[in-house]
Amino acid sequence: MTSAPTRPVLSSSPAVAATTAPDGAAAAPAVPPAMLLRELAFGAACAGAVRAAASLKLADALDEQPATAEELAVRLDVPAVPLERLLRALVCYEVFAATGDGRFRHTPLSRLLRTDEPGSLRDIALWCTEPWTWQSWSRLDDAVRTGRSVFADAFGKEFFQYLHDDAPDSAALFNRAMTQSSRQSAQDLADFLDLAGIATAADIGGGQGQALAALMERHPGLHGTLLDLPKVVEHADPRLLPGGPLADRARLVPGDCRVAIPVQADLYLVKNILEWDDESTRRTLRNLRQVARPGARVVIVENLVDDSPSMRFTTAMDLLLLLNVGGAKHTLGSLTALIEESGLLLKAVAPVNAYLHAFTCAVP
Ligand SMILES: C[S@@+](CC[C@H](N)C(=O)[O-])C[C@H]1O[C@@H](n2cnc3c(N)ncnc32)[C@H](O)[C@@H]1O
């Protein structure tokens, strides 16, 4: 479980009671429940401020030298007063820090919004706060009442259909955000997987193919197949596309894994896709079970909602999945049950990194 972050509070406020650490040292003042709940209810202000910083490329405008709001405003071509108000809000969340002499400097969090930062989260921050998310969150009570997605009611069509038909910029951002996220977990997954005896690997719903490309780079004899929706495969990682360094060992298969998985491989990766409705998961696992030859390995990788160092992050993702696609992040029990129902033999469950678990299965 995570604990509440420490943050600046008005120490002069009579309502703010100081707490004492077990060793007797003065600890951070406690925030009274009534203020804490107000802050929680204003969570949109935090998400909005992070989105504005990402969208304005505020982090790129600041280098290692602290700068005033006026200097940053000139660099961004925006008025200084509202920019300073935005910075002041962000400082409350440790995204940027105030130097005390009217200037602002980077923090580890603000650096992650830079476009040139290795491990940048800018696209992910934008994706998590896209315009359609705000409408979806406001209907969470409906989703809880019905247990179903609110997306079609709000936007007239299913989520991915809407993205591809009506919000191409958002669809492109989704692909970039997935790529950013996959790039970071791809190396962890490559470290985790033992590919002894594996000549061919297929990534089902593999996005643009970051994980597959990382595996193929790590194992020069490995042949890889990427299966994803046609519009995603079209924009696959350049390493896998014709002319790319891995192209002669790569196969790109546009398709819908709920309809068919026309791919033979020794190892099937299924990462972060079995989080939609259970029927889609059943169909995907059934298709895999039908096509995979006995002895093949299936590795399903997911964030678990009952075992994560960041329950705030995982539960937020879980609720967003409910809103958008009627999906859910799994518990250990719920994913195990669906795997067993499909006829795959679950051999092991192990952490890949701090937020992902791998369910390694054998095809009987
Ligand atoms: C959350 S992303 C995960 C991508 C990648 N596996 C990863 O971990 O980075 C879900 C992926 O599933 C793909 N997807 C959604 N519906 C699909 C379907 N019916 N058939 C194949 N892929 C699908 C999406 O295009 C997207 O790339």
pLDDT of 309 above 90: no
CA 219 to ligand 1 center in whole angstroms: 24
Find where tokens 């990766």 sit. Answer: 269
Q: How far apart are CA 271 and CA 106, in angstroms?
A: 34
Q: Answer yes or no: is the C-beta of 303 below 6 A from any ligand 1 atom.
A: no
Look at ligand 1, atom 26, and give the residue with the nearest C-alpha: 207
pLDDT on residue 134: 96
* Spatial CA neighbour of 327 closest among 156, 142, 150, 128: 150
Residue from 159, 179, 228, 329 to probe ligand 1 pocket by mutation (most atoms less than 8 Å from CB): 228
pLDDT of 164 above 50: yes
Q: Answer yes or no: is the C-beta of 182 below 6 A from any ligand 1 atom.
A: yes
Per-residue pLDDT band for 267 (boundaries 50, 70, 90) equals very high
| Mean pLDDT computed over every residue of the chain | 91
Mean pLDDT over 201-220 rounds to: 95
pLDDT of 14 above 80: no
Which atom of ligand 1 sits closest to the CA of residue 232?
A: 25
What's the whole-model pTM score? 0.80
- Give residues with Cβ within 8 angstroms of 55, minimum separation 6: 126
Per-residue pLDDT band for 16 (boundaries 50, 70, 90) equals very low
Q: How far apart are CA 32 and CA 30, in angstroms?
A: 6
Domains and CATH numbers, the chain: 30-119 (1.10.10.10), 178-362 (3.40.50.150)
Q: How far apart are CA 256 and CA 139, in angstroms?
A: 29
pLDDT on residue 243: 96
Q: Answer yes or no: is the C-beta of 257 below 6 A from any ligand 1 atom.
A: yes
Find where tokens 């406690």 sit. Answer: 30
CA 7 to ligand 1 center in whole angstroms: 37
Look at ligand 1, atom 12, and give the residue with the nearest C-alpha: 205
- Give residues with Cβ within 8 angstroms of 94, minimum separation 6: 5, 7, 107, 109
Tell me phi and psi for residue 192, to 5 degrees: -75, -40
Q: Answer yes or no: is the C-beta of 207 below 6 A from any ligand 1 atom.
A: yes
Look at ligand 1, atom 19, and give the residue with the nearest C-alpha: 256
Look at ligand 1, atom 4, and give the residue with the nearest C-alpha: 207
Q: Answer yes or no: is the C-beta of 232 below 6 A from any ligand 1 atom.
A: yes
Which atom of ligand 1 sits closest to the CA of residue 175?
A: 27
pLDDT on residue 90: 98
22-26, 57-61, 180-184, 299-303: segment of lowest average pLDDT? 22-26
Mean pLDDT over 21-41 rounds to: 78
CA 206 to ligand 1 center in whole angstroms: 6
Q: How many CA atoms lie within 13 A of 116 on its CB side?
A: 6
Q: How far apart are CA 328 and CA 325, in angstroms?
A: 9
Q: Answer yes or no: is the C-beta of 213 below 6 A from any ligand 1 atom.
A: no
pLDDT of 354 above 70: yes
pLDDT of 25 above 60: no
Q: How far apart are CA 156 and CA 195, in angstroms?
A: 45
% of the chain at pLDDT higher than 90 = 80
Q: Answer yes or no: is the C-beta of 209 below 6 A from any ligand 1 atom.
A: no
Per-residue pLDDT band for 119 (boundaries 50, 70, 90) equals confident
- Give residues with Cβ within 8 angstroms of 207, minimum separation 6: 175, 178, 179, 182, 228, 232
Question: Strand runs (DSSP E) across the chain, as ranges?
Answer: 67-68, 97-98, 103-105, 200-204, 223-228, 250-254, 267-271, 297-302, 345-351, 357-362
pLDDT of 13 above 90: no
More confident: 162 or 183: 162
Q: pLDDT by residue (tens digit) across 78-99? A: 999 999 999 999 999 999 999 9
Beta-strand relationship, 267-271 and 297-302: parallel
131-135, 138-142, 296-300, 354-358: segment of lowest average pLDDT? 354-358
